[in-house]
Structure 1
Amino acid sequence: MNDFKELIQQYFGPLGSQELSVIQSYFKEEKLCKNEIFTNSGQICNRLSIVKSGILRVFALSENGREITQWLSTKDFFVTELMGFFFNQPNRWTIQAFTEVELLTISKTDYVKLCQEFPKWFEIEKQFIIKCFAMMEDRIFSHLSMTAEERYNQYFEQNRELFHQVPLQYIASVLGMTPETFSRIRKRQAENS
């Protein structure tokens, strides 16, 4: 499974083949059916996964009952609820399979064992969490510094295929805009093409 090893090195930096084999031995194949819940808000997430195929939606309900989609996780992305998995805090987000999904998953129990067997993992984990927070900072910066249309264009360039796979209201939510604003921008883009 060379894809796994390449992906691990992409996220965590260069590792030797023996180190990669140790890490890989802890990840197990898992499948989720469409609409199956990976983890629910209020629970504590007990697994970390790499998406092999399919789409997962990360969402929560606002105080007024509106669904807010925070992220759409696709092939080669890691998925977990950070506060739950790493900090044993109740999840804010629900993660649900939008399509059938294939994952490579490590349970929290095996994650603790991996940390004990492979002490270098703590440094790797630190780098992973730093990358997660850097991605969140980039999203916050784009929301504060870019217009809605600039955010739309950037997301479209990076995730073109999602525009044909998920309801556009989810993408609008990820981009921090109403479905109406999203539709106006999409219409303008189509007219300019």
Structure 2
Amino acid sequence: MKDFNRLVQEHFGALGQDDLAVIHSYFKEEKLNHNEKFTESGQICNKLSIVKSGILRVYALSEDGREITQWLSTKDFFVTELMGFFFNQPNRWTIQAFTEAELLSISKTDYITLCRKFPKWIEIEKQFIIKCFAMMEDRIFSHLSMTAEERYNRYFEQHKELFHLVPLQYIASVLGMTPETFSRIRKRKAQNS
């Protein structure tokens, strides 16, 4: 894992050592076993975490019972269910440890305390939410403007290791394509290599 301070600064902007120490004091070590749930659909997510190691899968069931994988969260990524954590609404997504995972987590209660005791956090939080929004906007744009093969290539370049660690249907789902389309692209790539 990247140094906690550097990782927080990458996501939230430049902060002094004293500010970083305050923030770090609210995050606690947590471990999840393989298949253990971080939070479930219908519940209200009560924590925000940084993934130190492992892989967490963010997924939901469609109306026809199909699992839709929205994201695979890996080392150095933040993970939470935004609607549950920030808006106290029932989660749309289930987040589950695909492997054993180590996290640095802040509970909703401690998060509220941090906001109250550390007024600067409101600006920091705003930067975090803007980054989340920009990342989602980028994903939507790629789904609307790129071909399935272009999305595959881009994701492969950014997350090569996942192609050997998780079932490929999860990656296909993240990319908004059927497993069959994903397989055809993968086969074509292998033939052209």
The TM tier, using the shorter chain, reads over 0.9
1:191 alignment counterpart: 191
Q: 1:141 to 1:24 in 2, by over 3 A?
A: same
1:152 alignment counterpart: 152
In the TM superposition, residue 117 of structure 1 has moved relative to its aligned partner by 1.0
2:103 alignment counterpart: 103
Question: Could you tell me which amino acid in structure 2 is paired with residue 181 of structure 1?
Answer: T
2:31 alignment counterpart: 31
Distance (whole Å) between structure 2 residues aligned to residue 87 and residue 130 of structure 1: 16
> SS where residue 31 of structure 1 aligns?
strand
Determine if contact 2:2/2:76 at 8 Å carries over to the other structure: no
- Give CA-to-partner distance per residue, 1:75-116, whole Å, 9 cap, x none: 000000000000111100000000000000000000011011
> SS where residue 72 of structure 2 aligns?
strand
1:62 alignment counterpart: 62
Distance (whole Å) between structure 2 residues aligned to residue 135 and residue 181 of structure 1: 24
> SS where residue 122 of structure 1 aligns?
helix
Aligned residues: 193
Question: Could you tell me which amino acid in structure 1 is paired with residue 136 of structure 2?
Answer: M
1:175 alignment counterpart: 175
Q: 1:102 to 1:19 in 2, by over 3 A?
A: same
1:112 aligns with 2:112: yes
Root-mean-square deviation (Å) = 0.9
Distance (whole Å) between structure 1 residues aligned to residue 152 and residue 175 of structure 2: 7
TM-score by length of 2: 0.99
2:92 alignment counterpart: 92
1:40 aligns with 2:40: yes
1:53 aligns with 2:53: yes
Determine if contact 2:30/2:103 at 8 Å carries over to the other structure: yes
Q: Percent identity, please.
A: 83
1:20 alignment counterpart: 20
Q: 1:183 to 1:111 in 2, by over 3 A?
A: same
In the TM superposition, residue 181 of structure 1 has moved relative to its aligned partner by 0.2
The gaps in structure 1 that reach 5 residues or longer are none
Distance (whole Å) between structure 1 residues aligned to residue 89 and residue 15 of structure 2: 31
> SS where residue 137 of structure 2 aligns?
helix
Distance (whole Å) between structure 1 residues aligned to residue 179 and residue 85 of structure 2: 32
